[in-house]
Chain A
């Protein structure tokens, strides 16, 4: 402890002399590393493009405005596809996530040392891979189109939904489960009467929350050919049709705003 006694007076400092020296050395090393990295990045940057950026951005802005409004007639179907990918994907993922969540929760898993780790592995692995990468994989397996998008969204969402749901299961009031068990109910009856009513609000909340996220995720799936409005976006970008790109971005924005509004309403109604 950095307390010294000088002439009967106790002096307190935050750090002892040795500690503050170590601190200074650490800072010095940190600054040196930062300066070195800065130099490296600077050397490999083509500064011409960076200085040029505002001019290019301005150029794209003038080309992209005004949006090509008549193009909207061709966007109805793709945005509908996008909504369907998000909705169907969410439903499939929920169907798969419920059993995984029950297997993963401490208080409902049939085996803590064997089945629970498997369920947790499913949760981690599906969560850690982005839906765009799932879509790339699935297009290679089942071919391009909306179906690949639905499955990509479904797989990507399992981990998210199952994780939140199993946390809700672990937080239930155990005495209600005890009371149902004490009546002589079977294992499934205990689940239906003791556990399900307690996690139903959490389940509904998770479902709309994930649906909301999936609408945003499914707008980009078309970039890799998995259907939806992203397909239009990537083809418009490829032919440098900037007025179409700006219209697509506006449509996506509108869809996301509407989905936010719907899920906020639903969540408000449940809680």
Chain B
């Protein structure tokens, strides 16, 4: 459903963040993108919805080629891609409800959105989503009054109310404690399953990724080094992605148990 062909991004400073990345994401697949800092994970995600303009290569979402679109058409296609951010990126001084409804901006005209007169079905959907993530009672609070986990849930609602076909998720758990991280990852994956959404999740926590996703892509210096199922992540593979280190403690111990049980 999402297809990247020879995607290259070279920054003005001359840094080549992505080197001819090829990637094919089928409908409804949740994949994790791992790799060291500076490997180009964030750039890759931002190239897909063109917050960062790719230097060359093509990106297809369904049948539409995103790379050649005019600003107006790009805006229309962006509605099909929900984005979730590391530091939540909520508009701090707006209420939770306004933040969720801002996911509908691509569908609503300027004056309606400026006067906060969103269609009733959008408001209904916002309440339904807030209820789904357990924040219905917070609708009227200002975003900066919420805790980290709560903010990320609002961020998820904002992405989902766009009614996207694809979620672009940039380090959703990097600012959260371990328990909240798991809850947020579980929530994202559950919601993807419920709605049949594909998702690309940038993540540093390899064990967490293994726990929840169906496919892992390892990125190093802007090139794909690994593409396979989560239990294919052996210490050798992690060494090629991240460099030399003792990886035994990082990989989910669940795998070892399974291996032993199989034996």
Is the CB of A189 closer than 8 A to any CB of chain B? yes
Segment 181-197 of A: residues with Cβ below 8 Å from B: 181-186, 188-189, 192-194, 197
- Binding stretch for chain A, among B103-111, B130-138, B218-226: B103-111
Are A193 and B91 within 8 A (Cβ)? yes
Mark the stretch among A69-77, A119-127, A171-179 that contacts chain B: A171-179
* Residue B262 lies at the interface, judged by CB distance under 8 Å to chain A: no
B102 to A, closest residue via Cβ = A193
Known: A175-B85, A192-B113. A183 touches B91 (CB 8 A): no
Q: When the two chains form their complex, are residues B113 and A176 in contact, meaning their CB atoms are under 8 A apart?
A: no
B129-169: which residues lie under 8 A (CB-CB) from chain A?
155, 158, 162, 168
Residues of chain B within 8 A of A184, CB atoms compared: 75-79, 105-107, 162
A-B pairs with beta carbons under 8 Å apart, 12 shown: A176-B90, A179-B91, A179-B158, A182-B49, A182-B82, A183-B83, A184-B78, A186-B75, A189-B105, A189-B110, A193-B91, A197-B93
B89 A178 Cβ-Cβ under 8 A: yes
Q: Which residues of A contact B (CB under 8 A)?
A: 173, 175-176, 178-186, 188-189, 192-194, 197-198, 200-201
Across-interface contacts of A175 in B (CB, < 8 A): 85, 87, 89
Determine whether the beta carbon of B106 is less than 8 Å from that of A179.
no
In the complex, B27 has a CB within 8 A of chain A: no
Q: How far is the CA of A175 from the CA of B89 in the complex (A)?
A: 6
CA distance A181 to B106 in the complex (A): 9
Q: Is B261 an interface residue (CB 8 A)?
A: no
A180, B98: Cα distance in complex, Å? 12
Distance of A183 Cα from B75 Cα, bound (Å) = 8
Nearest-Cβ distance from residue A178 to partner chain B, whole angstroms: 6
Docked CA distance A259–B169 (Å): 50
Chain B, Cβ-Cβ closest to A199: B93
**In the complex, are the beta carbons of B114 and A192 less than 8 A apart?**
yes
CB distance from A263 to the nearest CB of B (A): 22
Interchain CB contact under 8 A, B93 and A183: no
Asked if B81 is at the interface (CB within 8 A of a chain A CB), the reply is: yes
B158 & A183 in contact (Cβ 8 Å cutoff) = yes
Q: How far is the CA of A184 from the CA of B76 in the complex (A)?
A: 6
Main SS class of interface, A: helix
Of A178, A180, A197, which contacts B105 at CB under 8 A? Answer: A180
Task: Give Cα distance in the complex from A200 to B98, angstroms.
Answer: 16
Contact of B91 among A181, A186, A188, A197 (CB under 8 A): A197
Q: Are B89 and A176 in contact (CB under 8 A)?
A: yes
Closest residue of B by beta carbon distance from A201: B93
Q: Give the 3 A-B CB pairs with smallest separation, nearest first.
A: A184-B106, A185-B105, A184-B78
How far in angstroms is the closest Cβ of chain A from B126?
Answer: 13
Q: Which residues of B contact A185 (CB under 8 A)?
A: 75, 102, 105-106, 113
Return chain A residues, CB-CB under 8 Å to B249.
Answer: none
Interchain nearest-CB distance for B99 vs A (Å): 9
A193 x B89 contact (CB < 8 A): no
Which residues from B are CB-within-8-Å of A200? 93
B259 at the A interface (CB under 8 A): no
Q: Which residues of A contact B190 (CB under 8 A)?
A: none
State whether B51 touches A182 (Cβ < 8 A).
yes
Contact yes or no, A183 B162, CB < 8 A: yes
Q: Which of B49, B78, B81, B92 contacts A176 (CB 8 A)?
A: B92
Given A183-B79, A183-B158, A186-B75, A192 contacting B91 (CB threshold 8 A): no
For A178, the closest partner residue in chain B by CB is B51
In the assembled complex, how far is the CB of residue A169 from the closest CB belonging to chain B, in whole angstroms?
Answer: 15
How far does the alpha carbon of A175 sit from the alpha carbon of B86 in the complex, in Å?
10
* Alpha-carbon distance A184/B168, docked complex (angstroms): 14
Known A-B contacts A184-B162, A185-B102; A176 and B83 likewise in contact (beta carbons under 8 Å) = no
A180 contact set on B, CB distance < 8 A: 91, 102, 105
A183 to chain B, nearest CB (A): 5
Instruction: Using known A-B contacts A175-B87, A176-B89, A176-B90, determine if residue A183 contacts B110 with beta carbons closer than 8 Å.
Output: no
